[in-house]
Structure 1
Amino acid sequence: MRQTTDALFLGRQEELARMGGWLDRAAGGEPRIVVIDGAAGIGKTSLIRRFLADKARGCRVVTASGEEMERELAYGVITQLMHYLPETPGATLPGTAHGACSGIAGHDPVAAGAAFLDALGRFHGRKPVVMVIDDIHWADTPSLHALTFVLRRLRVDRVLTVLATRDSADLRLPQGLHRLINDDTTLRLSLDGLPVPDLMALNASLGPAPLPRRTMARLRDHTQGNPLHVRALLQQFPADVLGGHSVLPAPRRYERIITERLGACGPGARHLVQAAAVLGMSGPLHLAAELGAVPEPLGALTEAMACELLDESPVGTPPQVVFPHPLLRAAVYRGLEPTERSRLHRSAAGLVHEPWIALQHRLHAAVGPDAELAEELALFAAQQSARGVWSAAASAAMAAARMTAEPGRRSRWLLRGAEYLLLAGDVSQAAELEQTIRGMTPDAEQHYVLGHLALTTGRLHEARRELAACWDTCDATTGTETLRKAAEQMAWLCLIQGDAPHIIHWARRGLDLPPGKRSSFLRDSLAIGLAVSGDYEEGMRSLAHLPDAGPRDTPEQLDGLLARGMLHLWNGQLREARRDLEEAFASHRRGGLPYAALVALGFLTDAAYRAGQWDEAIAHGTHAVSLAEDTDQISILAVVHAMTACPLAGRGEFRAAEAHARAAAEHARVLGDVNDSAFAATALALVHTARGDHEGVIRQLNPFLSPEIVHRYGIEEPGLVGWRPLLAEALTRTGRTEEAHEVLTPYERRATERSRPIDQAAAARCRGLLEEARGHSDAADRAFRDGLRHCSQGESCWEEALVRLSYGTFLRRSGRRREAAGELEAAHGTFQRLRATPYLERCARELSGCGRVTVRPRNAGHPVLTAQELTVARLAVRGMTNQQIARELVLSVKTIEYHLSNSYTKLGITSRMGLIEQLAPDA
């Protein structure tokens, strides 16, 4: 009997040692990632097996692998991983026992990742966890997004993740995963071929006589040291052929070796291996035995393992069979006679329970166009699209196109497949179809898909042309769904470009059509367009269909809720804004538009910042940035980065704030979005303001006074982007009072016209600063008092503290020290609670000038705690368990335990009762 694969493991000692070092760090509470890439047959799987056997002995092991035939099976890889983990009440994925996409389709990658993270936390115990995912280039897209989500949230968990792929730069991998792969904490191992000494050891292990070093060097050059190919040549050809001067045979003859090995097996083992090859890289033993009509499957498996044709998966109920290498499975599969291969696929279609896998088997069994199969594939695609399972819908639609001989149907299904790819986030695959789509007979649906693709890839002018052409070329055969989606995309394009009249125009055109089956952004676009053009009341009336509270189970109950929250925010109704945005985020996450969920979370960050809820704002903002990166929602990143920078700047965390603001500016530049550029510039200006760098503020914001920008809708609307008060203040403080007056006046007028109290307060504060600089004390006093009056019209807000600081400073300089102390002490209390360090220091200096000594209370914001520690601690004070906090923040339980332990140490306490005593509510 031949030696086992493990016994033939050669070389790679340096790689094993480096992986062992990474495991040691993970075992010490520093989660780490190892990425192994290299060509097929280079030894990635063998290296992982030896690592698990030698270095990871005693660890808890969780394994999964991508499978070419299951690439469109939603959460197939996550399902494999979940098989190892304990069930977690309220967090498990329905249907994961069978990997049925029908059971998991309702989950988005964030929900699936959160469920997996929860289960992984319960799996830890006292042993480190090694999580292995082989062939990630064949993993399904939802699993890749969910896995990225999980890996980013392993902070102190004793987990080593090993990822194996042929190419770590594969464009199909999510951008968030690429960032992890290229992170400094990730170990990259790119496997080259084995050196000559290791190949000589391989030759010696095979016997009977070793070949000379010169021959082995020749083989090394011929195969680049690929151990699978070298072994194939050594087993097939005699020494005189390998050592002669003739051209060496091609490694593709490896298939003949496998065919000979398979022919030497008994009928049971042979039929089992062939059936397994039809099922894929792995599958249940009982299913392979039934497909191959093998009466004694265990005996057949034993023989196949002895011939190194199959392995038994280490974990699986029922038992699983797996091929040792993809090339081996491919050799067996290609060695089947075409008629036998087709017959086995037809039989397999009747045995598997998953509809998509059954359809794939029928595809492989087909010998030409099949109208009935094409219709079934198209129906399956429609069903998956209705449930938001875009990746499976795309594959089914494109398969339907291949299976039909009718040109019109082929074009229609290919167009839908491209659209589904865009919705799934597989932009590169959709882009590969662009030239094929352009070669089709032009019609409305073709123009819509080309426009959608152009908009997604940032070609805005082309997108406008194609989407307009969709409407211009429509006829009686054009479906209203196509026109409604084209209007939705056009409205979104106009929103990006700040073109409010056309936002309204296209939203109304889309809404005039019969309603669709899924949520759309049309109602939101209409309300936002009306608001940014100054017609706030009409915008709110367009949302009158919305109930005040949930449930949000239908598009009618959900569409427009995000816009209502945004309009409340811009109008200064912060409590109502936070309510709607929180509900919009949760509802869109459950079954609406994933993009809309992130928009809601981004503006919820802004609402919490304005309301003076900075712990909450930072938590929302960092969560939004992470989710957008994890799910490749690039177009929202500028907004969420900018909004996350604001509370960080206010706290004096300048490095982090500036990093977010500059990231926002870069994303806005790539997209060419003026509105996003305004958000980014305002965030950078806030950093400069907090630092006291007024010239820096002017440099950032002066460009927005240019004629081609200043009249953009949205840029000038009070409540949306607060750049004018920042610029007016900076100009005033640098002595440029006339310029400050020119900047401030339009803002004052619009804030008054819109009756927006927070903006009126900001305008009054800036007016007070300006009149003080001009020497008009009475006018300055009136302005500051107006600011306080406007603040009193609503709930407590951040602007009120700024008004009190400015007014208190003015009063002190006017000699009215007692009045000044009252205003400054009120501002000082807010700055303490928020840990607004730069403003706290300024306020303390002013109070000192009033003869008041400031003492920081013991519980004043707890600057000793990090933002994450404080967020965790406050949830603990509310009575939530570690498990509940982990689910709320989508972190592992180990991370929650770590943050609480740090908080206890820093605060000098030993229990949650101590937290309750120390932490005042962040109100």
Structure 2
Amino acid sequence: MVHRRPPLIARAAALAVLDGAAARVARDGPGFALVSGPSGVGRTALVDELASRHEGPVLRAAGASWETGRAFGVTGQLAPGGDLVAGLGPGTTLAIVDDAHWADTESLQALVSTVRHDHEARLLVVATCVSGDPHVPAGALDLLHRAATTTVALEPLTAPEVGELAAARGVPLHPSMAERLCRHTGGLPRHVVHLLAEVPRSVWTRFDPGLPAPAAVAARVRESLAACSPDARRLAEAIAVLGPGTAVRDAASMAGVDGDVLPLLDEVCGAGLVELAPHGLTQAGPPDPMVRAAVLATMGPAASADAYRRAADLIDDPVRRMQLLVGASPVPDAAVADRLDELATQRAAEGAWGVAASLLSDASRLTDDRLLRERRLTRAVDALIGAGDAFAAAALIPEVESLRETPLRNAVLGYLAIVRGRATEAQARLGRAWDLVNSEREPDVAAMICQRYVLHSLCRCRAGDLVDWADRAVSLVPRDTPAAVEAAAIRGLGIAGLGRGDEALACYAELAERVQHGAQAQRILMGRGWLNLMVDALDDARADLESAVPTTFLGGSTRISLWARGWLARAQFAAGEWDEALRTVAEAEPLLDRSGIVLAGPLLAWTAVSVHALRGDWDRAEEAVRRADAGPQDYDIMRVPSCLARAQLAEARADSAGVLRALRPLTGPSAGSSIDEPGQWPWADLYAHALVLQGRDAEAESFLDRHERLAAARGPASARARLGAARGRLLAMQGEPAASATAFEAALGLLEKLPLRYDRARVSFAYGQALRRAGKRRDADIVISGARETFASLGASTYVARCDRELKAGGVHATRSGRAVGELTPQEEAVAQLVARGLSNREVAAELFVTMKTVQYHLTRIYAKLGVRSRAELAALRGHEQAP
């Protein structure tokens, strides 16, 4: 049987550095590469992979702590005859010295001297050494680092990389579990691999399992504990029970240690069982979760349970105290379970759903009554979804689905379907929950179902339904309960979707005054920030959304944070802060992948597409479009930004037909939907411009009439300006230059006091095209030059190129008398460039804002002047002219 080497994860860059060092040996002579990193980070695996790829000889040696005094012990392993250079062949030889920090001094000096002085040797010494180990000889480390001509410092794996490593080993992990395993092992591949092999596979599908220490770590900890004095051992055990950030005073009291504790701290720290906090001697904790797990396992169930009970008496924090009592409860305990449930209810009222989920999960395990146990488990899943951990919640779904059907169970399953973007399933689950619930007997559950319907309606862009369900939720329970507060936090968006923006702002002002702290405030800030963005209050929007981004609000929701980031990126894009917008998107993407909340994905991708496309970074724009289109598109809140992303890419490419194709799904019947509401989604003006550029004037007229009436009645200034620019373009195409100029001037006037740099430049560009079409070339030159300056400051290279083409086509600065016979006019040159790029006559007409008849006229003259007979010959000629 052939055993394939498991793939290395996240080490491609390190391998490339070592490959480069090996390649340089043939040109520059011998080299010394040093691979460093903490114990277990994969230094040996990296050099093994390097050796397997190397085509020449490979020599191996390893240092050992007990052989540091054996002179030339390492070089003797590399060359048993003692002369390393004499045995080298013509090709490059790798001399790998693993654990070189334990190598004898004489061997290290000999290797360093060979590299420094034997310039003809085709030798690359690759040494590995540990970092962060106080027991390693300082002299050896200093010599290795001074000798290195190439250095590679390996870092622990990230959570996604841990997930990738697990998948490569045949153990798929949901992102929450990958993050938990990463924290537990410190991201060190050796420990990750050991645990994947040692822990039963069923553990990896659970929510919040207790992970053990790898067997090797457990064995080392047992030996260290056995070697400690009785007082030191008790102190180490107390610190393990109390956990990170333990007050040394509390640990000493729990361990029954009298007198001077410092010698005991020296002992347990020296044994690697305890680590002092960096800011002094008053706090300590286990060096990592694995050591803590190993100490607790060594104590045994009875001793650890007793220690947990004693520790709970020392802790003031109620959540931590209850977690310690859970550790002391190996069998169901109704009293402890009831206290956990009560505390979880308090934390849920504050919106601290992550904490509530953990408490309810513990309460469920300690509950003997089947119906109550099932209810607590179901509520734990609901809290996980509220915290934004859809993957962890999904891990518990098989267990929840096996429970008896209740309104609560169906409401929770519907909630998960919402955050996973499954509208049809959500509708069925919530409908069943509402059919089953008795609102008089279970008003809290009925209010929860209403609040889930609020989310469902928001995602469907059904403003009327949203307000109706929010009002039902508030009528069923006191207004300070979680369901009522969360429904109210979204209700304002529904009111705005009905065209009552001022009323919505007043609702948020009252709500923000009433709820000023905690995770619920995060939800209110996000909703108000979203609304402020709709009504052109850009500065207020950014302030609210930036405040809603952190998830430190007593365990605030990842779901809310993702939406806050999505709309913050849109606000930054609108303000012309495109680099900041891309950073916001980049910061959100790992959170999106880790949480499993797909709803916010298209919104974030839309902003990325907008920036990349306008900057001409087509590969990144296409990648972002693929992200926008990934996953289900059941909900309008996913479908609309996905359509807008594709339309933005098409517009950046001057593909007006592509814009129409991308946005056509939004033009269907919209009864009950807020998709058409001015300020909600800026798609109508994009569609209108594309209709005009495609020569579909009658359709553009009808489309604009409807949307302009709506915008005039209740639209923000930005929406009216964007539609006004489309109207100006249509009037220019219809041969009404005066009316066109009036429309454009009005649009620019609406934008004058708003910090919407891209919108102003875009409107100015269209206005300049209309002026040039009307023969006012000097006026067009001034307007387009201003637009070009703004586009250039934004890095919008696609529009900069269009402005340059327009300015050249306008010919204001061209010298007629200097043009040779047969030379193309500026307008002909613009047409020739676009035709040579492969654009059709219709597309050229749309790009240059002229008629197709004009394009055909110019093209005939171009063929005659250049002596070509077809578009293909023109493209070939232009390609030849541009070739070096």
Q: Distance in 2 between matches of 1:305 and 1:18?
A: 36
Q: Between Structure 1 and Structure 2, how many residues are aligned?
A: 679
Q: Could you tell which deviates more after superposition, 291-300 or 768-777?
A: 291-300
1:715 correspondence with 2:680: no
Q: Residue 685 of structure 1 contacts residue 701 of structure 1 at CA under 8 Å; is this kept in 2?
A: yes
Task: Provide closer, same or farther for how the CA distance between residues 654 and 756 of structure 1 changes in structure 2, counting only shifts above 3 A.
Answer: same
Q: Is the counterpart of residue 411 in structure 1 residue 371 in structure 2?
A: no
> In 2, Cα distance between the equivalents of 1:16 and 1:637?
25
Is 1:602 aligned to 2:566, yes or no? yes
Instruction: Find 2:430's aligned residue among 450, 456, 467.
Output: 467
TM-score by length of 1: 0.60
8 A contact 1:808–1:819 mirrored in 2: yes
Alpha carbons 1:35, 1:162 under 8 Å: kept:
no
Aligned residue among 545, 565, 569 for 2:529: 565
Residue from 625, 632, 635 that aligns with 1:673? 635
Distance (Å, rounded) in 2 between the aligned partners of 1:258 and 1:772:
82
Amino acid at match of 1:496: C
Which residue among 481, 486, 505 is the counterpart of 2:468? 505
Q: Which moved more, 1:551-560 or 1:780-789?
A: 551-560
SS at match of 2:599: helix
- Greater RCO structure (CA 8 Å; 6+ sep): 1
Structure 1 unmatched runs, 5+:
1-10, 38-45, 63-126, 137-143, 153-160, 194-223, 227-251, 855-923
Cα deviation, residue 685, structure 1: 1.4
Paired residue for 1:542?
A: 507
Q: CA deviation at 1:678?
A: 1.7
Report the CA distance between 1:695 and its aligned residue. 2.9
Identify the residue that residue 691 of structure 2 maps to in structure 1.
Answer: 731
> Residues 52, 517 of structure 1: CA spacing in aligned structure 2 closer, same or farther, 3 A cutoff?
farther
**Hey, what's the Cα distance between the residues in 2 that align with 1:312 and 1:388?**
37
User: 1:646, CA displacement in angstroms?
Assistant: 1.9
Moved more, 165-174 or 521-530: 165-174
SS of equivalent residue, structure 1 residue 543: helix
Matched, 1:399 2:359: no
Q: Can you list the C-alpha shifts for 1:112-152, whole angstroms capped at 9, x where unaligned?
A: xxxxxxxxxxxxxxx9987658xx9xxxxxxx7xxx8xx99
Q: Distance in 1 between matches of 2:597 and 2:727?
A: 40
**Rg comparison, structure with higher value:** 2
Asked whether the equivalents of residues 35 and 163 of structure 1 are also in contact (C-alpha less than 8 Å), the reply is no
Hey, what's the Cα distance between the residues in 2 that align with 1:810 and 1:418?
58
Q: Give secondary structure in 2 for the equivalent of 1:635.
A: coil
Q: How does 1:231-630 map to 2 (within 5 A)?
A: 268=230, 279=241, 312=273, 329=294, 333=298, 343=306, 346-347=309-310, 349-350=312-313, 359=322, 362-363=325-326, 365-366=328-329, 368-386=331-349, 390-438=353-401, 440=403, 442-475=405-438, 478=441, 480-512=443-475, 513-516=477-480, 520-545=485-510, 552-553=516-517, 560-585=524-549, 593-625=557-589, 627-629=591-593
Deviates more, 1:532-541 or 1:256-265: 256-265
Of the three residues 760, 769, 772, the one matched with 1:809 is 769
Of stretches 676-685 and 514-523 in structure 1, the one that deviates more from structure 2 is 514-523
Quick one: structure 1 residues 315 and 179, their matched pair in 2 at CA, closer, same or farther if it must change by over 3 Å? Answer: closer
Deviation at 1:498, TM superposition (A): 2.2
Amino acid at match of 1:656: R
In 2: Cα distance, 1:56 partner to 1:839 partner: 52
Code of the residue aligned with 1:702 in structure 2: it is R
1:697 equivalent in alignment to 2:659: yes
Equivalent residue, structure 2, for 1:898: none
Matched, 1:640 2:604: yes
Q: Select which of 623, 631, 634 maps to 1:659.
A: 623
Render the CA deviation track for 1:217-265: whole Å, top value 9, x for unaligned: xxxxxxx999xxxxxxxxxxxxxxxxxxxxxxxxx99999999999999
Say whether the 8 Å CA contact 2:711–2:719 is kept in structure 1: yes
- Cα distance in 2 for partners of 1:847, 1:516 equals 61
Q: In 1, Cα distance between the equivalents of 2:485 and 2:557?
A: 7
TM-score by length of 2: 0.62
The one-letter amino acid paired with 2:504 is G
Distance 2:738 2:100 in 1: 78
Preserved contact between residue 612 and residue 834 of structure 1 (Cα < 8 Å):
yes
Task: Confirm or deny that 1:649 pairs with 2:609.
Answer: no
Measure the CA separation in 2 of the matches of 1:259 and 1:278: 12
Does the CA contact (< 8 Å) of 1:661 and 1:680 recur in 2?
A: yes
Equivalence for 2:717 = 757
> What is the rounded CA distance, in whole Å, between the counterparts of 2:341 and 2:495 in structure 1?
39
How far apart are 1:807 and its partner, in Å?
Answer: 2.1
Task: Tell me the equivalent position of 2:781.
Answer: 821
Tell whether the 8 Å contact from 1:374 to 1:399 is kept in structure 2 after alignment: yes
User: After superposition, what is the alpha-carbon deviation per residue over 1:775-810, rounded to whole angstroms, capped at 9, x for unaligned?
Assistant: 444543443344334434755543332222222222
Contact persistence 2:470–2:491 (CA under 8 A):
yes
Q: Equivalent residue for 1:848?
A: 808
Could you list the per-position Cα deviations for residues 37-84 of structure 1 after superposition, in whole angstroms to 9, with x for gaps in the alignment? 9xxxxxxxx99998696677584579xxxxxxxxxxxxxxxxxxxxxx
1:465–1:743 Cα change, 3 Å = same
Alpha-carbon spacing, 1:683–1:179, altered in 2? closer, same or farther (3 Å): farther
In structure 2, how many angstroms separate the alpha carbons of the residues matched to 1:167 and 1:621? 31
- Following TM superposition, by how much is the alpha carbon of 1:502 offset from its aligned partner in structure 2, in angstroms? 1.0
Counterpart AA for 1:683: A
Amino acid at match of 1:824: I
Q: 1: CA distance between counterparts of 2:740 and 2:39?
A: 62
Quote the Cα distance in structure 2 between the aligned partners of 1:701 and 1:163.
41
Deviates more, 1:555-564 or 1:629-638: 555-564
Contact 2:423 2:456 in 1 (8 A): yes
Corresponding residue SS for 1:747: helix
SS in 2 for 1:719: coil
Secondary structure in 2 matching 1:542: helix
5+ unaligned residues in a row in structure 2: which ranges? 21-31, 43-61, 66-97, 103-126, 135-150, 199-213, 815-884
Shift in Å at residue 642 of structure 1?
0.8
CA gap of 1:843–1:588, structure 2 versus 1, over 3 A, is: farther
How far apart are the structure 1 equivalents of 2:100 and 2:10? Answer: 10
Instruction: Tell me, yes or no, if the aligned pair for 2:235 and 2:257 is still in contact at 8 Å.
Output: no
> 1:419 touches 1:449 (CA, 8 Å); kept in 2?
yes
- State the SS of the aligned residue for 1:715: coil
C-alpha separation in 2, matches of 1:631 and 1:47: 44
User: What root-mean-square deviation, in Å, do the aligned CA atoms of Structure 1 and Structure 2 show?
Assistant: 5.8
Tell me the secondary structure at the aligned position of residue 337 of structure 2.
Answer: helix
CA spacing shift, 1:560–1:57, aligned 2, 3 Å: same
Distance between the aligned counterparts of 1:747 and 1:28, measured in 2?
Answer: 67
1:132–1:162: 8 Å Cα contact kept in structure 2? no
Matched with 1:830 is 790
Q: How far apart, in 1, do the equivalents of 2:618 and 2:752 lie?
A: 31
User: Which secondary structure does the structure 1 equivalent of 2:778 belong to?
Assistant: helix
CA shift, 1:392, in A, is 4.3
- Contact 1:520/1:593 (8 A) holds in 2: no
Contact 2:728–2:740 (CA under 8 A) maintained in structure 1: yes
Change (3 A) 1:324 1:440: closer
Name the SS for the 1:449 alignment partner: helix
The question of whether the paired residues in 2 share the 8 Å contact of 1:698 and 1:727 is answered with: yes
